[in-house]
Amino acid sequence: MNYVSNLPIIAIITPFIGAFLIGAISGKKKLLPWMKGVAVLSSLISLGSLLLLIKPILLEGKVATYWLGNWMPQEQMAIGIGLEVDSFGLFTGLIITFSSFLSSIYSVSYMEGDNALDKYYTLFLLLLGSMIGFVLTGDLFNMYVMLEIMTFAAISLTAFRNNLYKSLEAGFKYIVIGSLGSTLILLGTVLIYAQTATLNMAQISALIHNNYTPVTIFALAFMMAGYGVKAFLVPCHTWPPDAHMSAPSSISMLLSGVMSKTGIYGFVRLLYMIFFSVGAPKMELLIILWGTLTMIVGASMAIIQTDFKRLLAFSSVSQIGYIIVAFGVGLSSKNGVGVIGTLGGLYHMVNHATFKCLLFMCAGAVLYRTGTTDITKLGGISKKMPYTTILFLVAAFSISGLPPFNGFVSKWMIYQATYEAGYAPVTIIALIVSVFTLAYMMKIAQSVFFGEMPKDFEGIKEIPLPMSLSMSLLALACLVEGLFPKFISKYLLEPAAYSIYNLQNYIDVMFTKGFAEKMFKNRVPIPNMTYQMAGYWRPEAWFLLFIVILIGFIIGTVISLSFVKKCNIHTNNNLGDKYGVFTGGEKEEFAPIAGGDLFWGLKHNLKGYFGRLEKAHSGIVNDYVTWVICCIVVLSLYLFAAL
């Protein structure tokens, strides 16, 4: 059902107008409070515009359209830029606008000590407007334009605090790798346009459906690699750790928790719509393997980090791997299994945005009060910042997949989907990565919030109200999403999943009814959306989870004991500091554990593996560019062999 609305263009244009207004009054310190107000109000208007679309789109199943300049299709050919908002686009847009609105509130206090705030808020609104425009447009080239605005706004915000020692380096890495990803997407767009003579996604999907040529296969490889850069997929994941560590935390939360979703959105549109790959086993296998590799590498690198924000950046890489695996299963020809995979991917998208934004806000709160995110220099913060500590624990338990928090539901759906799709090894890996996630979250908890507090931090206090308010709303969302999965699924996830699979409706709404049926030789059946909610409250499911955790605990204990025996460590107080942290022989009442030493035993037993990973992440941009090029080559060879 078609639904013509001005709300999509309002949601997009409002942040751009806000950026223009702030630029017009920049340099006037007396107007600084107004700049903050413009940023918050623009974010709120964009969020409100999309909230007004919930009833017609999510609840009634309509698709909102808007043709810029009223350039309607002529003779079944799109000649203008059209906005087309289905349930999946609205779902992603709501994630973007809600998180950005909270970030704008958080920024009011968090950024108060910085200079050039007019430039900060201008770039912030450019980033917001471009992200919304990216997910609401129905035009492939307009997606690229929005992607470029998004990338350069994010690069500028990454290097915003250019007085810090790594900000400019992080910005340089981002501009090189990010521009390479954008160039690949542009090349793919050009190749598709050369084959179809149109840039409208609905029309491209109808024309290119099941009609692979060498040109379209190259286009697919280029665009997959390009969106792999935007979504932090291994080996295109090398820029986020530096960028997230250097950017203000109010921006890090958007880069990690929100902007990464635009890469995933591009992936889904590419695989599910433009190149309809549902029911293609070789494509399904490729995406699942790619996501699994991303899960493993991200978690492995996170566990050996000593910077709070850098650890969270690698953690995001790992969590994106879960989402990609889920959407890989969504390509399965097994009807019910594919639906569970897609629903699991959508659920983890919204969950990851929630708990990862909260985690970066917690890191920002620590930085705001202590001036550092080096976890080897922190400790005991909970004594002075108890509320921040509680919020951190909510986010930590959520990302680790512990019930009843939101991460458990989406991860359990992914476990079920991968197992029922016949990928049991992937299920086991996903469970192990969750254990790793809990491990490095507890490393942060012990090293930053508990243990002995350095004397330098005895005078710190809790964060201001605007920061606490934003964080509290995200913590509440973590609980709501975990406690009411059926409600979330019925009114948010199922409409989004249905719109992903219902390709004909997306095409017909943009043109005329029956257009897709004429273009397709055979209409693609829409999967049955009936499914079981992943056993969330089933006792046998909880028992199975307990058995898995117990086995993991036993294996970990055996490894630890073998390490103690090998190193001839005894539990007494006469040992050096290096070994005291493992024996419980701490002096006095404190148990300080340095961030780099908490998993020293694990790193020692797996020193070859971790050593190779650290060596591979050399920090040299030339190496990282080579990785992306190798990714393109591998994708091209695989796709030519598979399609």
Q: What pLDDT, in 10s, does the model give residues 287-298?
A: 999 999 999 999
Does residue 603 register a pLDDT over 80? Answer: no
Residue 231's contacts (CB-CB under 8 Å, 6 or more residues apart) are 260, 263, 264, 266, 267, 320, 324
Binned at pLDDT 50, 70 and 90, residue 112 comes out as confident
Binned at pLDDT 50, 70 and 90, residue 38 comes out as very high
Percent of the chain's residues with pLDDT above 70: 83
CB 556 within 8 A of CB 303: no
Residue that wins the pLDDT comparison between 550 and 374: 374
- In the structure encoding, which two tokens stand for residue 624, read together? 């990282």
Q: Which residues pair with 374 in a beta bridge?
A: 307
Taking Cα atoms as reference points, which of 475, 462, 273 lies closest to residue 358? 475
**Mean of per-residue pLDDT scores for the chain:** 84
Cα(41)–Cα(36) distance, rounded to whole angstroms?
A: 9
Q: By three-state DSSP, how is residue 5 classified?
A: coil
Cα(500)–Cα(212) distance, rounded to whole angstroms?
A: 21
pLDDT in the model for residue 456: 83
Does residue 569 register a pLDDT over 50? Answer: no
* 228-242, 450-464, 479-493, 525-539, range with the lowest pLDDT: 525-539
Element (H, E) at 83: strand 82-85
CB 296 within 8 A of CB 433: yes
Percent of the chain's residues with pLDDT above 90: 50
Torsion of CA 553, 556, 558, 560, to 10 degrees: -130
pLDDT in the model for residue 587: 41
SS3 content of the chain, % helix, strand, coil (to 5): 75, 5, 25
CB 302 within 8 A of CB 242: no
pLDDT in the model for residue 311: 93
Binned at pLDDT 50, 70 and 90, residue 493 comes out as very high
Binned at pLDDT 50, 70 and 90, residue 615 comes out as confident
Residue that wins the pLDDT comparison between 583 and 280: 280
Q: Which of 26-35, 66-75, 201-210 has the highest average model confidence (pLDDT)?
A: 201-210
Cα(125)–Cα(560) distance, rounded to whole angstroms?
A: 50
* 144-153, 360-369, 521-530, range with the lowest pLDDT: 521-530
CA dihedral (192, 496, 40, 81) positive or negative:
positive
CA dihedral (572, 576, 582, 584) positive or negative:
positive
Q: Which residues pair with 63 in a beta bridge?
A: 2
pLDDT in the model for residue 578: 38
- In the structure encoding, which two tokens stand for residue 149, read together? 């605005």
Binned at pLDDT 50, 70 and 90, residue 468 comes out as very high
DSSP for residue 532: -
What average pLDDT does the segment 79-91 reach?
Answer: 89
Residue 143's contacts (CB-CB under 8 Å, 6 or more residues apart) are 134, 137, 266
Does residue 574 register a pLDDT over 50? Answer: no
Does residue 101 register a pLDDT over 90? Answer: yes
Instruction: Give per-residue pLDDT as tens, 592-601.
Output: 444 445 666 6
Torsion of CA 541, 547, 553, 555, to 10 degrees: -130
Quick one: 66 exposed, middle or buried, by C-beta within 10 A (0-12, 13-18, 19+)? buried
Does residue 563 register a pLDDT over 60? Answer: no
pLDDT in the model for residue 240: 86
What average pLDDT does the segment 501-528 reach?
Answer: 62
Bridge-based pairing of strands 63-67 and 82-85 is: antiparallel
Quick one: 521 exposed, middle or buried, by C-beta within 10 A (0-12, 13-18, 19+)? exposed
Binned at pLDDT 50, 70 and 90, residue 379 comes out as confident
Cα(90)–Cα(416) distance, rounded to whole angstroms?
A: 27
CB 314 within 8 A of CB 298: yes
What average pLDDT does the segment 446-450 reach?
Answer: 88
The beta-strand segments (E) located in 122-281 are none
The domain segmentation of the chain, as residue ranges, is: 2-537+612-642, 548-605
pLDDT in the model for residue 474: 95
